[in-house]
């Protein structure tokens, strides 16, 4: 109640009117914008939309994709400071103009930060945002952070299972799965790939290129889970074992289940 200044982000800036729109569900941004004598709003230049009439579409896209609601609890419009208040709008570039001119990854700027890609991502849902070691996390962070510093975030494009779910749910059609492959190729091209990743990929290539080899690898993996002593599987020499326990070995692989239960019915059909 006594702070001298408040700050918030901006969800949309309207070029036609010069107004800004801030969407929240807690009301904290409204407090920051209305109570202090000084209000500072920061907006990435990609937040601009052309007309006031375009806003309802974006409000619905944002809220439905994030929460499944028609609109956020607080959708506040600001066209200037209240009486007796000082208001500043800071429009950020910070590399956005450079991204916009790139034919390879400019579409990342279409993101409206709804979080739908994070909600659906099987990796993010199980590892949380902290594991990404980056400001922008989840699938959108994977394809955005390398544009800031490819060397620092070279591992992020590999934090993906390529299920494609993020691309399916994105309301503004950012081609996240395609951009993941793009940044992987950039990591390799610039020689920033981790040695362990390179070794894993070299070992995986002959297995994944052959159905026979893959089936054999599945059987070997199942045998290892059942028979190799836990003291060896979870030894300090295995980095994975530092924070994970090995899964319980299933009775059979999916391939074996398919051959026994599903394939015969398909052949009969």
Residue 2: CB atoms within 10 A of its CB come to 5
Which pLDDT tens digits describe the chain residue by residue (269 residues)? 889 999 999 999 999 999 999 999 888 899 999 999 999 999 999 999 999 999 999 999 999 999 888 888 899 999 999 999 999 999 999 999 999 999 999 999 999 999 999 999 999 998 888 888 899 999 999 999 999 999 999 989 988 999 999 999 999 999 999 999 999 999 989 988 777 777 888 888 899 899 899 989 988 888 888 888 877 877 777 777 777 777 788 888 888 888 888 888 777 76
Question: For the chain, where are the E strands, in sequence order?
Answer: 5-9, 12-14, 20-24, 38-44, 48-49, 74-78, 86-92
What is the Cα–Cα distance from 231 to 1, expressed in whole angstroms? 58
For residue 55, which of 102, 20, 6 has the smallest C-alpha distance?
20
Can you list the alpha helix ranges (DSSP code H) found in 121-210? 124-127, 138-144, 165-169, 176-189, 195-208
Question: What do you get for the CA distance between the two ends of the chain, in Å?
Answer: 72
pTM of the model: 0.75
If you count DSSP H runs as helices and E runs as strands, how many of each does the chain have, helices first? 13, 7
């Amino acid at each position: 109640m006594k702070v001298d200044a408040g700050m918030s982000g901006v969800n949309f800036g309207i070029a036609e009117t010069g107004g800004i729109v801030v969407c929240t569900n807690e009301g904290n941004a409204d407090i920051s914008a209305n109570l202090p004598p000084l209000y500072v709003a920061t907006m990435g230049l990609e937040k601009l939309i052309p007309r006031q009439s375009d806003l309802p579409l974006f409000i619905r896209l944002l809220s439905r994709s994030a929460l499944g609601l028609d609109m956020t609890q607080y959708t506040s419009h600001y066209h200037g400071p209240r009486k007796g208040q000082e208001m500043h709008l800071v429009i950020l570039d910070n590399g956005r103009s450079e991204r916009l001119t790139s034919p390879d990854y400019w579409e990342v700027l279409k993101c409206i930060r709804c979080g739908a890609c994070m909600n659906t991502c099987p990796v993010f849902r199980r590892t949380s945002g902290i594991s990404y070691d980056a400001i922008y996390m989840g699938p959108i962070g994977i394809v955005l952070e390398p544009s800031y510093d490819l060397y620092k975030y070279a591992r992020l494009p590999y934090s993906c299972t390529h299920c494609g779910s993020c691309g399916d749910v994105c309301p503004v059609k950012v081609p996240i799965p395609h951009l993941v492959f793009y940044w992987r190729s950039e990591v390799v091209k610039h020689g920033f790939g981790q040695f362990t990743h390179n070794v894993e990929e070299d070992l995986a290539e002959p297995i994944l290129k052959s159905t026979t080899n893959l089936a054999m690898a599945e059987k070997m993996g199942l045998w290892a889970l059942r028979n190799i002593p836990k003291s060896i599987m979870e030894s300090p020499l295995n980095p994975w074992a530092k924070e994970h326990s090995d899964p319980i070995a299933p009775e059979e692989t999916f391939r074996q289940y398919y051959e026994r239960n599903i394939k015969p019915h398909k052949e009969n059909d």
